[in-house]
Amino acid sequence: MRSFLFVPADSDKKLAKGASSGADALILDLEDAVALSNKEAARRGAADYLKSADRNGPKLCVRMNALDTPLWRDDLKAVAAHAPHAILIPKTISGDCVKKVAHALDLLEAEAGLRTDTIKLFCVATETAASMFNLGTYAGSSPRLFALTWGAEDLAAALAARDNRDETGAYTGPYQMARTLTLLGAVAAGVSPVDTIYKDFRDEAGLERETRAAARDGFTAKMAIHPAQIEIINRIFTPSEEDLAHARAVIDAFDKAGDVGVVALDGVMLDIPHLKQARALLARAAAAKTI
Ligand code: COA
Ligand code: MG
């Protein structure tokens, strides 16, 4: 999956629009895009959508409310029986949060007659100061876990920061650290690193730059808040024909050279890490076709 589009679950209009956005996955939001007075309407909206949507379309995820609210258990009860692809847990502190939600889902899946681990999990893992010290704790937390992502807005609020970007538009230290630790924590846990949203949804050039940087650094996907962002994200996370041809040439060069650790291609030294990168790119391209 390359793109995840947030859709506030209390908006019928946006829910209807999400299906045709081209996003690989939708995140039906019950959390911060929904006013407290509308939580119940959002749960109904998400449940109805899960029941009626074409399940051959985008994968359907639901963002629950955080574990420190009285809302999250009712969120899960409202949607679990309709088998969303995944639940996004916001404001996680550590891998223990994944275990807690996984346990609640074990019971709800059993009640609904669903196979255990049908519903996958992913986390917004950098939204509190304490979360930042635990990005290495997600490995082995649950077989349901398939991705980690990060958030710069809630972290800025938690730090009472005046802004999270500097005068050039670049994220300042704490948010760069959140991004980097999410990338490393996800890879260490064997799950997909997913880049955060770009909130200035009319700034296509800015989104393009940030998405290219994410793909360059190893993120496999990016979240979106507006349908206009999807084409850019999907395009950048789809390896180009040129990238694929280069990866094939690298593999070919090693195959032809036999049992060696280093080869030359077009005047450039290639060793085993380059072979691994080439294989990973082809595997990612193959996986992108099966979403
Ligand atoms: N999902 C589905 N449809 C969306 C959408 C989204 N996230 N964002 C906008 N649209 C729809 C609009 O309803 C509008 O539909 P229409 O053409 O039928 O009127 C169309 O796309 C164009 O929208 P636009 O007028 O450009 O933006 P807006 O002012 O209606 O909405 C936001 C701007 C930011 C409020 C909206 O994009 C949004 O709600 N995003 C998601 C926010 C969210 O979930 N945040 C939590 C995670 S950080
Ligand atoms: Mg948030």
DSSP assignment of 261-283, as one string? SEEEETTEEEEHHHHHHHHHHHH
Report pLDDT for 258.
Answer: 92
pLDDT tens-digit profile of 4-24?
Answer: 999 999 999 999 999 999 999
Nearest CA, atom 14, ligand 1 = 14
pLDDT tens-digit profile of 72-83?
Answer: 999 999 999 999
Pocket test for ligand 1, best of 4, 17, 26 (most atoms within 8 A of CB): 17
Report pLDDT for 219.
Answer: 97
pLDDT (average), residues 258-263 = 92
Question: What angle separates helix 204-217 from helix 230-237, to the nearest 10 degrees?
Answer: 30
Residue 151, classed as helix, strand or coil, is coil
How much distance in Å is there from the Cα of 158 to the middle of ligand 1? 26
Sign of the dihedral defined by the CA atoms of residues 112, 114, 116, 119, in that order: negative
Mean pLDDT of the chain: 96
Nearest CA, atom 24, ligand 1 = 226
233 backbone dihedrals φ, ψ, rounded to 5° = -65, -50
Place of tokens 């809302």: 71
pLDDT tens-digit profile of 34-63?
Answer: 999 999 999 999 999 999 999 899 999 999
DSSP percent split of the chain into helix, strand, coil, nearest 5: 50, 15, 35
Q: In one letter, which amino acid is 262?
A: V
Q: What is the rounded distance in angstroms from the CA atom of residue 118 to the CA atom of residue 121?
A: 10
What ranges make up the beta strands (E) of the chain?
3-8, 25-29, 59-63, 86-89, 120-124, 145-149, 192-195, 221-224, 262-265, 268-271
Q: What is the rounded distance in angstroms from the CA atom of residue 124 to the CA atom of residue 35?
A: 19
Between 140 and 287, the higher pLDDT residue: 140
Residue 159, classed as helix, strand or coil, is coil
Cβ atoms of 230 and 24 closer than 8 Å: no
How much distance in Å is there from the Cα of 252 to the middle of ligand 2? 45
24 backbone dihedrals φ, ψ, rounded to 5° = -70, -30
**What are the Cα distances from residue 74, in Å, to 34, 71, 99, 156?**
15, 6, 18, 28
Report pLDDT for 283.
Answer: 87
pLDDT tens-digit profile of 242-254?
Answer: 999 999 999 999 9
Query: Does the C-beta of 98 come closer than 6 Å to ligand 1?
Result: no
- Residue 281, pLDDT > 70, answer yes
Q: In one letter, which amino acid is 233?
A: I
Reading the block at residue 202, the tokens are: 């009319």
Ligand nearest to the Cα of 151, by number: 2
Residue 8 CA: nearest ligand 1 atom is: 44
pLDDT tens-digit profile of 82-113?
Answer: 999 999 999 999 999 999 999 999 999 999 99
Q: What's the half-sphere exposure (Cβ side, CA atoms, 13 Å) at 14?
A: 20
Nearest CA, atom 12, ligand 1 = 14
What confidence tier does 235 reach under pLDDT thresholds 50, 70, 90?
very high
Protein residues with C-beta less than 5 angstroms from the ion ligand 2: 151, 154
pLDDT tens-digit profile of 179-200?
Answer: 999 999 999 999 999 999 999 9
Q: pLDDT above 90 covers what percent of the chain?
A: 94
What confidence tier does 119 reach under pLDDT thresholds 50, 70, 90?
very high
How much distance in Å is there from the Cα of 74 to the middle of ligand 2? 19
**What are the Cα distances from residue 3, in Å, to 39, 110, 222, 231, 233?**
25, 30, 5, 9, 6
Cβ atoms of 211 and 222 closer than 8 Å: yes
Residue 224, classed as helix, strand or coil, is strand
How much distance in Å is there from the Cα of 114 to the middle of ligand 1? 33
Report pLDDT for 289.
Answer: 59
pTM for this entry: 0.94
- Residue 286, pLDDT > 90, answer no
- 28: nearest Cα among 150, 192, 14, 147: 14
Place of tokens 């275990």: 99
For 125, counting Cβ atoms within 10 Å of its Cβ (0-12 exposed, 13-18 middle, 19+ buried), the class is buried
pLDDT (average), residues 135-139 = 98
Report pLDDT for 287.
Answer: 74
Report pLDDT for 291.
Answer: 41
